[in-house]
Every structure is written in C-alpha cells, then in structure tokens.
Structure 1
Amino acid sequence: MIAFGGYLRSKQYLVGIDETANALMSINYIDIGNFDQLIQMMQICFARSKDQWKDVLTHYQDFAKEYQKGLNTKVVDESEIPKRNPPAQVKRYQLEDIKKWLYNRKDKDTIETPFYSPYNSDEVAFFRLEEEDLVELGFWIRKMLQKLAVDRRRKKEKNKVRGDLDLRQLLRSRFLKGDELVQLYFRYPKKQKSKMVFLCDVSKSMDLYSHFITALVHRLPKIFDYSAIYYFNTELYEVQDQEDIQEVAGLWAGGTRIGHCFSQWLNHLPAWFDKKTKILIYSDGWDTGDLELLNESMYAMQKMSHKIIWLNPVITKVQDFEVAGMSIAKEHVDILATVYNLRTLKDFIRGL
C-alpha cells in the first residue's frame, strides 16, 4: 500500500502521510481477498476528483504489473549460478570515504517519505514545500495582497511625479509666477482606503493547504487598512488575534456548510464594511449543506461588496465545476482562479 501511494504521487496524486495511514488502517475493515472492496477503499483514500476516482483502478493494474515484473527479475535459479571464489581484493579508500571518516559521518539508508518530490518547487503543492520554500511563498503572498489592496478611483489628486499632465494647474502656475516652465504638474487617481474580508475553508479536505492559509492570514492585516478574517467548516469562527490564528490546527475536521457559514457572516458584518470592500474566499467548494442557502448568500454578498475573489486549490478541469457549491458560486464571483502551488499563485498575480 505504501509503494502504491508512492506510485500515485508520480501520477500527480496528492497522497501524503495521512492518506497512506488511512489506507493502511482501512485494510482491517475490508475483505482483503475481495478485489472490488480493495479498489473502492483505495479510491476513497487516494482520489480527490472524479477523474482520479476513475483512474485508480487503471493505475493499480499498471502498478501490479510493474511490481510483479520487478519481483520476477529478482528470482534466479541458484543452480545456474557458477560458483567461483573471487580473489581477495585490497580495499582502496576513495576521497568520499576519507571525508566520512574525517567528519565522523556514517552511511544511512535513504527512506522515501510522502513529502519527497522530484519536481521544481514552483510545481510542488503547498503541503510539500520545504522550509526554505516557505520564504518564497510568503514573498508572493505579500505581492498578491499588495495588488489586491490597490484600488484607484475616478477622483484624482495633484501629483508632481506621475499621472496625467494637469494643463489647468500648469497654466495657472505660469500666469501667477510669470516664469518659464520649470515645474510640471500631474493628476493621479486618488488612492482609497483598502478593505478586505478573508473567508477561509478549514474543513478536513483543506488541511493540505495550511501553509498557504497561515502565511496569508499573518500578512493580510499588515497590507490592508481594514481587514477581517474568518474560518469556516460547519460553523463560522472569527479570527481576532494571534491566539485565534494558532488555534486553526484544531479546526481541520468535518465537512463544510458554506451556505450556512456565509449566512452567519452576513448577519454579523464588520462596522466598516461597505460597497468598496473586497471579499477573498479560499475553498475547494465541497458543500454538504443547503445549496439554496449558498445561492442566496452569494447573491447578497455580490450586491453588497466591491468584488468577490474565489481561489480554489482543486479546480483543474471543467468537470471540477460540477462539485456541489462551485456550480452555484461561479455565477456570483468576479474572479475565480486555481491556486495550489507557487506556479499557479504567480499566474494569478500576473493576471490581476
């Protein structure tokens, strides 16, 4: 089962330690000799979309053939092996051996873990990022928030550096001073105070993206003039201080009632919330609650806010919109993008 999990990771499946452990524990509850039960168990533990659900059977059959082929190559008839006594060889110490002795290093077996990835860090999912990659993740999240915070209106203010040339002020200054033109005047769109509400899905299916969520939550209040952060799964939780941010680890469980949580939030809006506020949602769209309530809540949010931005970590194909929740939400959002690794995050930032 562990080897098959590694095989699925090579096929771009998001199989981690938790999924492998769940599959191993599930073996105790099925008839291991029943092939249909075995396949269904692996589909439940490893698949994250309809396409992956269908492909698990094919991948398992291919894996079984390769595994059996590998075993057959190791089986050798001992009677066919000629017996010979190899001459004694004097060990020649290489430079690497001397380094190991000098620095007191010992050979260690390399054990594959579910977090190993041979791909470029831009292509690696958030949950597989190494510690040094988290610094880059924080940098690009800050870039994203800075772009979202910029909101230029039609009203303009005087500027001596950039913007459209202000002919009125230029002529006025010329008549008043009577000098040659030594200073140009411009008019630039006035910057509005930025407002953002972040609604974050913390159900069990979103556990893999905790690195991205934590980094975003820490940086959002530093970028926006007004901001509010909420976690939701089956209920809504408001984040008010650093202690609430740290407690997110205890919320990764259960399903998701998106419509119910959004309805709760609409009944307790921040005092500063107005038509200029942007709403950022990070969720996979799996909703186990009332879909009609979700439709009503999203419609109200669209009318009351400046813009709704929905980032989904699992949408890769058109079929993914059939997920309960996304089929309704996509009708009410202004921007819908897939963000699950550094590459998709950079693509989203470039498109803003």
Structure 2
Amino acid sequence: MLRALGIEVTPTQMVDLVDSLHFVDIRSRRDFKHSARAVLVNQREQIPLFDEAFDLFWQARSEGELLELDLGTLLQKHQQQEMELYRRNPSAGESQNDSQETEEERLLTYSDRELLRQKDFARLDDAELVTVQRMMQGIQWQLEPRRTRRHVRARQGQLIDLRRTMRQTLRHGGEVMQFTYRERKTKRRPVVLICDISGSMERYSRVLLQFIYIVTSRLDRVESFVFSTRLTRITRQLQRRNIDDALREASAVVHDWAGGTRIGEAIRTFNYDWARRVLNQGAVVMIISDGWDRGDVQLLGREMDRLHRSCHRLIWLNPLLGAEDYQPLVRGIQAALPHIDDFLPVHNLASLEQLAAILQKDNR
C-alpha cells in the first residue's frame, strides 16, 4: 500500500517494524502508528501521506476496489497539495518553517530508539530525557495475580463443584445433566516502591521518580516512599494526573534530597510504621538504591530480613548493576543480598522492560 503511494519500503524496514512491535502496546492504535511511522517513513514530507494512508488502511473496507479507489484519490490529493504549495511559494519545499515543526514530526528512527533503550539514564540530556519519558509510557505494567483461598464459579476446569453439581442433579430427578466447576479467586497484589534519593543516586533520581509515577498510574494498589536520611511517603502526591505537578508536590514534602544515606534506618521506619498497613495480601516490594550506606549495616541486615519475611517478594533494583564490571562489594549490598529474591539493574529503558516481564511471571 505504501509503495503504491510512492513511499519506498525495504525488506529490512519490515523486519525492523516487526522487531519494534515488541516494545509498544499493539492494542494502542496511536502507539502502533507512531512506531510504524518511525520505522517506515524516511522523509518528513511523507508524514501526512503516511498518516492518511494508515487511517485509510484501518477502516477495514470490505471490498478491495474501494480501497484501490481511495488510494488513487489520496495520492492525487497530496500531489495537488504539493503543486499548490509550490505555486504559492517555490522555496517552501526547502524551508517550510522548520521552527514550527511539531514534536510528532521530529522522527526517531528505529535505530535511534534502540540507542535510547540502551543508554544509561545518568547520561541522558534534557531532550533525550523527554523522549525516554514518552517511551517509558509504552511499557506494560501488570503483576501476576495471587490466588486466594476462596473459590468462585468457573465455566470449565479441573475442579468440580460437587455441591452445585448435586443440587442440579436433584432438580433433574437424580440424573447428572452437567458438571459445574469452580476455581480459586484471584486478586491483584499490592506494590510498594522505596526509592533512594541520596546524593549518590542524584544522577538517577529524576528519571526513576518518573518511573515510579508511571507504575503508580498503571497499577491499582501502589504505595511509594523515598528516603535519604529518613523515610517519606509520597503516595498521595503521585496521584496527581499531571506528572510535573505530581513530582513538584513530591519534592515539596521531601526535606532530605541528595543528602546522606541511612538505608537501615529507612527500612526500620517502614517496618515499624507502615508494614502492617501496606504489606497485606502478599505485596511485592521494590527497593531502588545503589547500596551506598553510611549507617549501621548490621541494622540494615536485620531490617531486610524482617521485611523479606513480611512480603511476598522482595526486589532490589540497582542502577549500578548495569555496568559490565559491577561487583556487589559495598557493605549495604552485601548486607541486603541474603534477604532479597531478585537483584536487578534499573539503569535504562531495556532494564525497565526486563523488570516488567519478570513481574508478569511470578515464579515464586
């Protein structure tokens, strides 16, 4: 279809398009459209033609002649628009007000996106940070639900509901007409995020707080905390609809940004003041920290052990773990490692995608 409109599409681009679909929600027409456009369109002036062709394709016409007719009409329309533009301003094709170029017209190729997926958060410039934040929105956050002890009706399955089957049998004169089934009821697990915002984490704090905001907006039951020398709950602040407003309000209630690090004291505060309220029903807890701790590491070990026994799954996310030569030598990490279920990197978009995949498959 695109070739018929004069947009050259190579086999390599088709392979890249298929690969790119692993990183977007294909149920979202907007995300799919932007991904396809970034891979298949090489010239800015082809963007309007691609957009209209995309919309035409997804109208799902039942007859091929109608689609062919619309393609011809569409191509003729754009040729007329180009001629009219040239007639009014012969130099428009060269300049065309680049200063008024919209964000959506600033195309990122698939290779550009792949580079951003792999680039360390600490090395992003302001423009890249905005793009990464937009790409971060496409990650699907969904936890494996927990099974409760209660049972509910099921259309089919391996567990026969004997009571309901017998009642139906009695209503039919003692003849078994149909088996009824039941299955264990499932509920979504709560999530607790505890993020280190001390001085050693300053390079990562901004983008990781955006990650926490996105997780909070996608999942139902999320509690969020930050710490440096003390623990602060920011759950309510992150419930604002606008991310900038949410982060601004969170910053206003935190008084120890980029300070020292007291991980053990922060975890102890959580265990004593918050654990009973937020760790019910098999919560998943994620601690985000590089492990640099100026406090009592023995206290950290004890409190991590207590936290591990109180939750369903304890995950430690370390931005330094993305380095090839990283070794867990700092005292804080050594004290925590015996008590965690997963030790994962959180330094770029690819590591967040890995985390999302792990959370969807709970093997514990």
Report the TM-score when normalising by structure 2. Answer: 0.55
**Any idea what the Cα deviations from partners look like across 1:185-232, whole Å, max 9, x if unmatched?**
44333123633322111112323332232232354266234x432110
Alignment partner, residue 288 of structure 2: 282
Which consecutive residues of structure 1, in runs of 5 or more, have no partner in the other structure? 1-96, 107-116
Cα distance in 2 for residues equivalent to 1:104 and 1:318: 47
Aligned-residue CA RMSD (Å) = 3.4
SS at 2:277 equivalent: coil
Specify which of 243, 247, 259 is matched with residue 254 of structure 1: 259
Matched, 1:333 2:326: no
Aligned to 2:96: 103
Q: CA deviation at 1:177?
A: 5.0
1:211 aligns with one of 185, 207, 210: 207
Query: How has the CA–CA distance of structure 1 residues 323 and 304 changed in structure 2, closer, same or farther, with 3 Å as cutoff?
Result: same
Residues in 1 aligned to 2:114 and 2:214: alpha-carbon distance in whole angstroms:
28
325-334 vs 298-307, which moves further: 298-307
Moved more, 250-259 or 174-183: 174-183
SS in 1 for 2:273: coil
Aligned to 1:231, what secondary structure does the other structure show? strand
Count of residue correspondences: 240
CA distance in 2, matches of 1:292, 1:272: 25
User: Aligned residue for 2:182?
Assistant: 187
In the alignment, residue 215 of structure 1 is paired with which amino acid?
A: F
Aligned residues of 1:169 and 1:185 also touching (Cα < 8 A): no
Q: Distance in 1 between matches of 2:163 and 2:357?
A: 36
Q: Per the alignment, in what secondary structure is the counterpart of residue 265 of structure 2?
A: helix
Shift of 1:252: 3.8
SS in 1 for 2:304: helix
Distance 1:195 1:347, change over 3 A: closer
SS of alignment partner, residue 314 of structure 1: helix
For residues 50-100 of structure 1, the C-alpha deviation after alignment (integer angstroms, 9 at most, x for no partner) is: xxxxxxxxxxxxxxxxxxxxxxxxxxxxxxxxxxxxxxxxxxxxxxx9458
Matched with 2:151 is 156
* Other-structure match for 1:20: none
After superposition, the Cα gap between the structure-2 partners of 1:183 and 1:215, relative to the gap in structure 1 and judged at 3 Å, is farther
Partner-residue secondary structure (3-state), 1:147: coil
- 1:314 matched residue in structure 2: 320
Q: How does 1:1-352 map to 2 (within 5 A)?
A: 98-99=91-92, 102-103=95-96, 120-126=115-121, 128=124, 129-140=128-139, 143-144=140-141, 146-147=142-143, 150-160=145-155, 163-166=157-160, 168=162, 171-172=165-166, 175-178=169-172, 185-192=180-187, 194-209=189-204, 210-220=206-216, 223-225=219-221, 227-242=222-237, 244-247=249-252, 251-269=256-274, 272-274=277-279, 276-316=282-322, 319-351=326-358, 352=361
Q: Letter of the aligned partner of 1:194 in structure 2?
A: R
Q: How much has 1:258 moved relative to structure 2?
A: 0.5
Q: CA deviation at 1:304?
A: 2.2
Deviation at 1:336, TM superposition (A): 1.8
Task: Select the structure of larger CA radius of gyration.
Answer: 1
Aligned residues of 2:193 and 2:212 also touching (Cα < 8 A): no
- 2:340 maps to a residue whose letter is V
Output the CA distance in 1 between the equivalents of 2:236 and 2:278: 19
Verify the 8 A CA contact 1:137 1:212 in the aligned structure 2.
no
Change (3 A) 1:178 1:194: same
CA contact (8 A) 1:217 1:245 kept: no
CA contact (8 A) 1:234 1:255 kept: yes
Kindly state the Cα deviation for residue 281 of structure 1 after the two structures are TM-superposed: 0.9
Q: Structure 2: how far apart are the matches of 1:124 and 1:181?
A: 63
Contact (CA 8 Å) 1:159, 1:187: kept in 2 or not?
yes
